[in-house]
Amino acid sequence: MTPLDNLPTPAKKSDPKTLAVEIIERLKHGTGKDPKAAKPHDWLQAVILVVRDRLVDHWIEWKDESRNEKRVYYLSLEFLIGRLMRDAITNLGLEGEINQALANIGVDLDILRELEPDAALGNGGLGRLAACFMESMASVGIPAYGYGIRYQHGLFRQEIRDGWQVELPEMWLSHGNPWEFERRESAYEIGFGGTVEPRGHDKTGVPTFRWKPSERMTAAAYDTPVVGWKGDHVNSLRLWSAQPIDPILLARFNAGDYVGALEESNRAETLTQVLYPQDSHIAGQELRLRQEFFFSSASLQDILRRHGQLFHTFDNLPEKVAIQLNDTHPAIAVAEMMRLLIDNEGYDFARAWELTNGTFAYTNHTLLPEALESWPVALIERLLPRHMQIIYQINAMVLKSARKDGLADEVISRISLIDEGGERRVRMGNLAFMGSHSVNGVSALHSDLMKETVFADLNAVFPGRINNKTNGITPRRWLAQCNPALLRLVQGVVGDVDLMAETEALTGITGMADDAGFQSSFEAIKRRNKEQLARVIQQRMGLRVDPGAIFDIQIKRIHEYKRQLLNLIETVALYDQIRSHPEKDWVPRVKIFAGKAAPSYHTAKLIIKLANDIARVVNNDPIVGDLLKVVFLPNYNVSLAEVLVPAADLSEQISTAGMEASGTGNMKFALNGAVTIGTLDGANVEIKDLVGDENIVIFGLTAQEVSDRRAIGRDPGEIIAASPELAQALRAIKDGAFSADDPSRYADLIGGIESHDWFMVSDDFDSYTAAQRRVDALWSDRATWNRMAILNTANVGWFSSDRTIRQYASDIWGVPTK
């Protein structure tokens, strides 16, 4: 009992009047502003601080309550969290009260919302998944920490100038960040370089070592509270920022070397300056490896410190700690954990390996060979010499046992941690795999392909280690917040069930799928969401689109395997046909695209230019009018997705089969009543199983057919010759019909399709256009379309990330959920 235990800590009241008084109070005393002169940004700051106060009470309580329970640590280089205010307000159930409070003061919450910066600390699917998981872990009551990097600059801001992508720095911290708490007490030293020195021998006579880094810096913690549904549990997202140990090297300063005195300081701060914007290609920069080690080491030191304080031993680490690696980006943590246990805690190698392996689990998010991480042995040796030693030792142990089991030399060389073909490199996927007791894929198809392709050999050596955890999305953000009218409508039907906690109860609307009244309400909500999007398009692009048309949306990173090009070529073919027969009874469409291209990915940037070129020509053609419009919305991010997803009629999920690990946008669209046009790839397969064949439009080659065709080899020229529509569209693009200012702009892009077409655009083209015409026919019968849309919403509650997290909790982490 301390004197503090007797202090009353009354929970804060949250009626509109109290809230209004506190908001004004915060404005005055927290930001030093006169309410009469306050700007919207000041009000935003004040509202966030008041909401945050309410979170903090739950946060402290929850930390205390879950002290001795097993904790989950989610290590990810990306957390694409977007805006946080609405999340906190809905999950605390304060929406009505805050609205009322602000109305009394004469401030509009919707205006404030738009001012909150969108935290883009991630590239795409992998980062957004980490954000949904954080929210779900809090919602199902798992004591969890997310660990990542507090980038000064998140993913670049995209502008479109003359149709080309231009990258500008993203400045999410420029107005400060009211959500975070700097934890000065949680700072750790991180080393790089230097030497490994022998120290002596352990009890059994094994030599011991100590790493003496030549370069050192500090990792400083910043915590953001993550509140779960209903506000019962609040977890932490802990992001690390690099800081110099000595801000100024005094000796050099005094010697007159003012710039040199700051060298170390600048070097440290550079480390967490910026998120790497590639999501599909390893460029192999040293700074990236430094980021990976920096945040892995800081996180592990933090985890071990907390564990040591509670239990005074690490013998029980796997019983109390689960560490999930989000892809291989934190894979170096496997070697760092070994170093900390052996060099700092005195464990022998075998026991340290047991503890490490029992604690770690690894999620793979892509099979693309160019995205599989590996680092030159020479680089790791220079930056992390002790870790390189440990990696060799792990490798020796695993390969020795594989040899004993009679594995062939080719197999041994494929599972080795060292890739010996050319410059020697460390395979981070293999390190993560060996160091983990569980390795999972993110959709049923992807997990099967893992076993058949990249991890086939490791799967044979460690049978049963690979498992599947199909991705999910949080229904709080992706239904309640982005589409409150739809939630109200379905809630009215399912009655007294908490759809945000039991999202599968959405099946309760199945019986209404053919009900004319329900259909018309459902359609009316979609219509209003489309009108809202039309306003955004009007404001940002100065383009008027007809909300009565099919809103056909493809939003995701721009990548050849995602095949925005297939969609664009089909758009050209359709345009051509409308022009030839404008009198026919066409179904009006608005084709909407958004997404960023990696700055160094030239083909992806050219695809953006093509979309804009096609848009310019099509949108200004009076023959076509409202029958077809093409829109490329700049600067796709989480906030824009929240407007686009509820406004879609048709969801484009058209990757080359076998290449999209899961997709999560596909789930968001289906939940909001869009029909999917898609290939049998990633989680599309599971969407089809849930909604039924008649409520999804599937086309194209299967993953098996794609791999067979690639093995046999085929001539895209022949395929194109057999499809007059495709040939005509390709010719138009290639000959400059959309690029009169530079007629040969697309010659190479189209040439690539004609010659090798790795992503099988031509193979799937006819099947895709036929599927699009099926969509037209289905749309023309409104009752049929509405039925399909309703049955999508009804049947995809299973994709709640609460379900995914419960599966991780029971199958991998061994932690209870509520």
Report the catalytic residues. 365, 556-557, 562, 664, 668
Structural tokens at position 209: 């070592």
Our finding on whether 81 is near ligand 26V (CB under 6 A) is no
Applying CB under 6 A, among 31, 45, 76, 123 the residue interacting with ligand 26V is 123
CB of 30 to ligand 26V, least distance (A): 37
Label the pairing between strands 418-419 and 425-427: antiparallel
DSSP 415-441: HSSEE-SSS-EEEHHHHHHHT-SEEEE
Q: Which amino acid is at 231?
A: G
CB of 557 to ligand 26V, least distance (A): 8
Residue closer to ligand 26V (CB basis): 42 or 279:
279
Our finding on whether 652 is near ligand 26V (CB under 6 A) is no
- With CB atoms as reference, the residue minimizing the distance to ligand 26V is 125
Q: 309 to 328, contacts with ligand 26V by CB under 6 A?
A: 327
Residue closer to ligand 26V (CB basis): 468 or 672:
468
Our finding on whether 365 is near ligand 26V (CB under 6 A) is yes
What number of other Cβ atoms are within 10 A of residue 251's Cβ? 11
Q: 660 to 719, contacts with ligand 26V by CB under 6 A?
A: 660-664, 682
Measured distance CA(238)–CA(176) in Å, rounded? 17
Our finding on whether 407 is near ligand 26V (CB under 6 A) is no
Total residues found in the chain within this entry: 818
Identify the bridge partners of residue 800 per DSSP, sorted by sequence position.
473
Burial bucket for residue 248 (CB in 10 Å: 0-12, 13-18, 19+): middle
DSSP 624-691: TGGGEEEEEESS--HHHHHHHGGG-SEEEE-PPTT--S--SHHHHHHHTTPEEEE-S-TTHHHHHHHH
Residue closer to ligand 26V (CB basis): 470 or 483:
470
Our finding on whether 371 is near ligand 26V (CB under 6 A) is yes
Cα dist from 83 to 224, 235, 448, 477, whole Å: 12, 17, 35, 10
What is the crossing angle of helices 332-339 and 349-359, to 10°?
140
Where is 240: in which H helix or E strand?
A: strand 234-243
Q: Quick one: which of 50, 59, 63, 45 has its CA closest to 13?
A: 50
CB of 81 to ligand 26V, least distance (A): 15
CB of 99 to ligand 26V, least distance (A): 34
Applying CB under 6 A, among 298, 442, 445, 775 the residue interacting with ligand 26V is 442
CB of 657 to ligand 26V, least distance (A): 13
CB of 659 to ligand 26V, least distance (A): 8
Q: Quick one: which of 312, 286, 321, 298 has its CA closest to 243?
A: 298
Applying CB under 6 A, among 98, 129, 144, 568 the residue interacting with ligand 26V is 129
Binding range to ligand 26V, per CB under 6 A, among 202-210, 276-284, 533-541, 607-615: 276-284
Residue closer to ligand 26V (CB basis): 311 or 561:
561
Binding range to ligand 26V, per CB under 6 A, among 80-88, 278-286, 405-413, 780-788: 278-286
Residue closer to ligand 26V (CB basis): 87 or 327:
327
Identify the bridge partners of residue 119 per DSSP, sorted by sequence position.
82
Residue closer to ligand 26V (CB basis): 129 or 627:
129
Q: Quick one: which of 699, 660, 663 has its CA closest to 449?
A: 660
Residue closer to ligand 26V (CB basis): 336 or 660:
660
Applying CB under 6 A, among 79, 276, 360, 455 the residue interacting with ligand 26V is 276
DSSP 161: E
* Backbone region of residue 531 per phi and psi (left: phi > 0; alpha: psi in -120 to 50; beta: other values): alpha
Distance, C-alpha 200 to centroid of its chain: 46
Site size for ligand 26V (CB under 6 A): 21
Our finding on whether 429 is near ligand 26V (CB under 6 A) is no
Our finding on whether 596 is near ligand 26V (CB under 6 A) is no
628 in Cβ contact with 578 (< 8 Å):
yes
Give the phi and the psi of residue 60 in degrees, each rounded to 5. -65, -40
Binding range to ligand 26V, per CB under 6 A, among 56-64, 125-133, 187-195, 773-781: 125-133
What number of other Cβ atoms are within 10 A of residue 259's Cβ? 9
Residue closer to ligand 26V (CB basis): 78 or 336:
78
Our finding on whether 278 is near ligand 26V (CB under 6 A) is yes
CB of 382 to ligand 26V, least distance (A): 20
CB of 464 to ligand 26V, least distance (A): 22
Label the pairing between strands 195-201 and 207-212: antiparallel
CB of 500 to ligand 26V, least distance (A): 22
196 in Cβ contact with 389 (< 8 Å):
yes
Applying CB under 6 A, among 126, 242, 321, 398 the residue interacting with ligand 26V is 126
Our finding on whether 279 is near ligand 26V (CB under 6 A) is yes
Residue closer to ligand 26V (CB basis): 125 or 225:
125
| Contacting positions for ligand 26V (CB under 6 A) | 123-126, 129, 276, 278-279, 282, 327, 365-366, 371, 442, 471, 660-664, 682
